[in-house]
Copies of this chain bind each other. A is one copy, B any other.
Amino acid sequence: MLLGAIEGGGTKFVCGIGTIDGEIIERISIPTTTPEVTMDQAMSFFSNKGIVAIGVGTFGPIDINPLSPAFGSVTSTPKPYWSGYRILDHIKQRMDIPVGFDTDVNAAALGESVWGAAAGLRNCLYMTVGTGIGVGAIVEGNLVHGLMHPEMGHIVVNRHPMDSYAGNCPYHGDCLEGMASGPAVEKRWNTKAMLLGDSHTAWELESFYIGQALANYILVLSPEIIILGGGIMNQKHLFPLIREQVKKRLNGYVDHPVFASDLETYIVPPSLGGSAGLCGALALAKKALMK
């Protein structure tokens, strides 16, 4: 029994075919151009593959309220052509199978909870730090949706005392994403992030911002594990710096044995590595099938 998966990103759509056990057996990458062209290419890939359900984890913001008339569409995005585009309708016109539809980060959180680092846990958080900062969460076994879906990348952070960068979020200036996304790092230092040496002050600031955001998420959601992915987190030396900042911020307040540890098993990279997003979409397909 095969499932389809779409990891919809601002630069590329990765499409895959996988099994119900999370094994990806085929994948392609399609550039994100106009929605019609991109989605047509994606649907062609899936045709005649015999898939029984499909999952879509996509960039947003998106409408994930099944009761809303705009359910399954991209809402207001600065990305040209995509505002208001009805992804779900496009798929349903082509295929009469169950479709799972959620944010890219909720999908990744689900994938890690089904087959990855959060397997067996009922509460987890997945954060990606790259072009933007996105976070997906599972609470008591359910993806967090609510009124629409979380946008945790935009929470308030305190500035590092040495940091005079204004922040580049068009809505909030110096919110978390405005201070700690990949483009923010590059604009602050006028250098590609991957070219900044491991001992560059950039990483002290980066861990300061990510660490305080994680401390906040811990205080609000009390996740059982935190998974950090995305381009910036390929800088593996950030992990110990971030763990240290989290402990410093919480300052012994959250009374659980895990916070007396070095957090090495609490703040971790994705088990599914670069496939976290695609496996997440596969997990959405599996969930849609089981429903």
- B155-A158 in contact (CB<8A): no
Interface string of A59-93 (1 = CB under 8 A from B): 00100000000000001100000000000000000
Q: Given A156-B215, A212-B156, does the pair A150, B76 have CB atoms closer than 8 Å? A: no
A163: interface (CB < 8 Å): no
Which A90-146 residues sit within 8 Å CB-CB of chain B?
Answer: 123, 135, 137, 139-146
Which of A31-39, A193-201, A252-260, A267-275 lies at the interface with chain B?
A: A252-260
A20: interface (CB < 8 Å): no
Chain B residue at minimum C-beta to C-beta distance from A149: B222
Partner of A158, one of B143, B158, B215, B249: B158
Complex alpha-carbon distance, A219 and B134, angstroms? 11
Query: Using Cβ atoms and an 8 Å threshold, which residues of chain B touch A219?
Result: 150-152, 154-155
Q: Shortest beta-carbon distance, A70 to chain B, in Å?
A: 10
- B61-A147 in contact (CB<8A): no
Query: Using Cβ atoms and an 8 Å threshold, which residues of chain B touch A75?
Result: 255
- A222-B147 in contact (CB<8A): yes
Which A204-231 residues sit within 8 Å CB-CB of chain B?
Answer: 212, 215-224
Q: Shortest beta-carbon distance, A76 to chain B, in Å?
A: 5
Partner of A142, one of B140, B150, B253: B140
- A146-B139 in contact (CB<8A): yes
Q: Shortest beta-carbon distance, A176 to chain B, in Å?
A: 9
Chain B residue at minimum C-beta to C-beta distance from A62: B255
- A123-B142 in contact (CB<8A): no
Q: Shortest beta-carbon distance, A73 to chain B, in Å?
A: 12
- A253-B146 in contact (CB<8A): no
Complex alpha-carbon distance, A223 and B123, angstroms? 17
Q: Shortest beta-carbon distance, A30 to chain B, in Å?
A: 26
Query: Using Cβ atoms and an 8 Å threshold, which residues of chain B touch A146?
Result: 123, 139, 221-224
- A172-B255 in contact (CB<8A): no
Partner of A150, one of B151, B156, B222, B255: B222
A166: interface (CB < 8 Å): no
Complex alpha-carbon distance, A151 and B216, angstroms? 9
A148: interface (CB < 8 Å): yes
Complex alpha-carbon distance, A147 and B218, angstroms? 9
Further pairs besides A144-B221, A151-B253, A171-B253: 4, Cβ < 8 Å: A147-B224, A155-B216, A156-B249, A217-B220
